[in-house]
Structure 1
């Protein structure tokens, strides 16, 4: 395994979309084209499966140095209401494009720190969204909670407006690691909010744990997993730290690469964590996710309905996902669009009745086919192809790139079907890269992605 780690540990995408953002064709994109695909997708899917809504709440009171997300650091809570009013106005701009009420199946609050906002303001936001929308019969609402500032009042307020799933960012319980990533939170804080969520009635509680952090050892990962076992969250995101200090606006410059575990050490951390999680009853879901059999994510995997989008893995597919707030990305299935990243520009555009997107990509026919293959591999660890269905002009290039991966026993190819082996699952990003024609045809001259291992 160590030699394979050395061989395949290269920069690569996490494939929350295809094409990935650096390869979007922004020259062939326009707001008018985006709106056309948006309306097409809405008319095809709203009444059948509903839509997804992602709302980006960018404010944080302090900078966590492991984080690569778009955020604004401030302790001024008077920013809350003006921002939420702008988000609701942006939502209305979208609703004005539709000929019927949106039916929301999935809604997720991300950040930033959603629990930076007061419970009252979060209720104001959600109630405002549903003045112009209905809930699907099988809706699922979720939010990201910071263990240090998520109160019982937060949990209760969001429960009252339909939230039943929450994920808490744990990262690691070792104090030296916590200080390095500027995220000091004792186990007692996580325990308190986890138990409070259960008492209120949340049916899916998740914890996010990261391996490969600065100064982190395999003993630290083992300690964190064992502490996590004592709380038994319903699902876990156990993923590799993405070291991308070259991205503008993130804080990953408070330590050097020498402080990070080696690729083989990271893989050992992952394998040890995976072993401990399996012992207590967690099942691996797609890439980097684990769940108990009682959780909707596991049940979706069993039913074959697991889906992946800009929100990560979800228990069901919606063709249309609208992103609200600064930097949010929307997906109409036929195109992607991203909002501006400056809060001031975002508020100016929305208050001028302009949907605040600044770049995007219209998918080609080949993009759509390759996207399905990558989704199949990411969600089900297999995909099928033939000339009539699943074939694309550059398929031979992909099969050529998969040959060495096959020889390393990471995949099996039979009867036009690719199946990822158990040995190959840790290398799923590398396998998907074989399909990435944009990456092959225009190799990056500078580093764009985190390492795959």
Structure 2
């Protein structure tokens, strides 16, 4: 990557798991009735089409704080919290079941995120999943996955979740270098990752993902080279290779180290290019922002067939219009609206006990929002978009084209009469390119930094 382009475009920007992005949601969130109307409308359409719905379950508990982490977590070694939290999750799900009426929801996708889902005992995870599936129908092409910590995921976790229909496991690797792992307080070893990967495959899991982070404190090019060489030897099916988001004003745990501990922009890009080169030489394909997959993996196939989807869970080959998020801080998406649950566990419990959906903010999309969302989603999943259809055009689309003129000069995009394509050179800057379509960002530039750097 050209160094001058790195400095030019390495600015704060969203990761576009939604449009509008969360900081630009309307100030007055939809009330419970408005949100349930949205859910019911999309649920009916999804049921009639046979598409089904997705569930994201946020399990926030961790026994120790990984200081790089930007997720919503609760640190505790008290496993008595598991039962109460599961009861709250099932009570929240029961509210949605009531909204669905007499029909049985078809579950197309479940993802357990966190936090550390494997903080929960295998037996409690089984109780949770059985409770969610009771009264539901599992889609014939359902995809169930969970995030696993190599340090505490047991064979019992693997077997029980497999028996419940889980076939995808995402392992938090981050880096294999002990110096880097020490400063981010990540307690795991290469041997644990290897053993977990091999055992998951022996049991029958068909998709193994690794999360690898570049730009971590004390990270070096040689460390990334060694990490990626170990990664490709274990040959996960897909890899999320993403930039560390340094946001200490949001995540105080990141103040355990300073900017001086982070690689400078030149070194960070060299670390990224090193990792990317190893992946590409080992047969991994760039399927979207920060994500690589083998040609045999469903993510790659979905990208090639233009059915790749992106939502609050990241990239998925399962496209559903209704995503229900359960748990503290979880986000739901009805396609025409978003809501987020209370972030603090205590506030979440209080709303559940009051028999209320625990949402505290949200957004109902306007006609222009829906148009721009479609273009941003295509750019994130297909590296191109077009607007030949009159229903895909609004004034902000034309303004977006004007903003892309300089990127066209830099050969990051190719502009067409009714569309735009991202070049190979432009793929690492997909977030910047999407920002050109972000009308709400351009209408109200933030006075303080809201987002991590784009590169």
TM range (shorter): over 0.9
| Structure 1 match to 2:167 | 164
Q: How does 1:296-307 map to 2 (within 5 A)?
A: 296-307=298-309
Aligned partner (choices 62, 74, 77) of residue 64 of structure 2: 62
Partner-residue secondary structure (3-state), 2:234: coil
Conserved 8 A contact 1:326-1:339: yes
Residue by residue over 1:226-258, the C-alpha shift from the partner in whole angstroms, topping out at 9 and shown as x without a partner, is: 0111111111111111111111x5511111111
Conserved 8 A contact 2:330-2:341: yes
CA offset at residue 387 of structure 1?
6.7
Conserved 8 A contact 2:29-2:360: no
Please list every run of 5 or more consecutive structure 1 residues that lacks an aligned counterpart in the other structure. Answer: none
Please list every run of 5 or more consecutive structure 2 residues that lacks an aligned counterpart in the other structure. Answer: none
CA distance in 2, matches of 1:26, 1:150: 40
Conserved 8 A contact 2:384-2:421: yes
Conserved 8 A contact 1:385-1:417: yes
Residue by residue over 1:136-169, the C-alpha shift from the partner in whole angstroms, topping out at 9 and shown as x without a partner, is: 1100000000000001110001001000000000
Conserved 8 A contact 2:212-2:239: yes
Conserved 8 A contact 1:214-1:255: yes
Q: How does 1:98-247 map to 2 (within 5 A)?
A: 98-99=100-101, 100-247=103-250
CA distance in 2, matches of 1:387, 1:160: 46
CA distance in 1, matches of 2:60, 2:360: 18
CA distance in 1, matches of 2:254, 2:342: 22
Question: What TM-score comes out, normalization by structure 1 length?
Answer: 0.98
| Structure 1 match to 2:449 | 447
Residue by residue over 1:360-381, the C-alpha shift from the partner in whole angstroms, topping out at 9 and shown as x without a partner, is: 0000000000000000000000
Residue by residue over 1:182-207, the C-alpha shift from the partner in whole angstroms, topping out at 9 and shown as x without a partner, is: 10311001011111101100000111
Partner-residue secondary structure (3-state), 1:173: coil
Alignment CA distance shift 1:387-1:380 (3 Å):
closer
Q: Which range is displaced more, 277-286 or 16-25?
A: 277-286
Conserved 8 A contact 2:29-2:361: no
CA offset at residue 26 of structure 1?
2.8
Aligned partner (choices 388, 407, 420) of residue 390 of structure 2: 388
Partner-residue secondary structure (3-state), 2:216: coil
- Is residue 369 of structure 2 the alignment partner of residue 367 of structure 1? yes
CA distance in 2, matches of 1:387, 1:152: 52
| Structure 1 match to 2:310 | 308
Conserved 8 A contact 2:148-2:172: yes
Partner-residue secondary structure (3-state), 1:230: helix
| Structure 1 match to 2:25 | 24
Partner-residue secondary structure (3-state), 1:366: helix
CA distance in 2, matches of 1:28, 1:227: 46
- Is residue 340 of structure 2 the alignment partner of residue 338 of structure 1? yes
Q: Which range is displaced more, 276-285 or 56-65?
A: 276-285
Aligned partner (choices 267, 289, 294) of residue 269 of structure 2: 267
CA distance in 1, matches of 2:304, 2:97: 35
CA distance in 1, matches of 2:368, 2:31: 20
CA distance in 2, matches of 1:60, 1:404: 45
CA distance in 1, matches of 2:318, 2:254: 33
- Is residue 5 of structure 2 the alignment partner of residue 4 of structure 1? yes
CA distance in 2, matches of 1:152, 1:18: 39
| Structure 1 match to 2:45 | 44
Cα RMSD over matched residues? Answer: 1.0
Conserved 8 A contact 1:338-1:360: yes
Deviating beyond 4 angstroms after TM superposition, the runs of 4 or more aligned structure 1 residues are none
Conserved 8 A contact 2:302-2:317: yes
- Matched positions, count: 452
Alignment CA distance shift 1:194-1:28 (3 Å):
closer
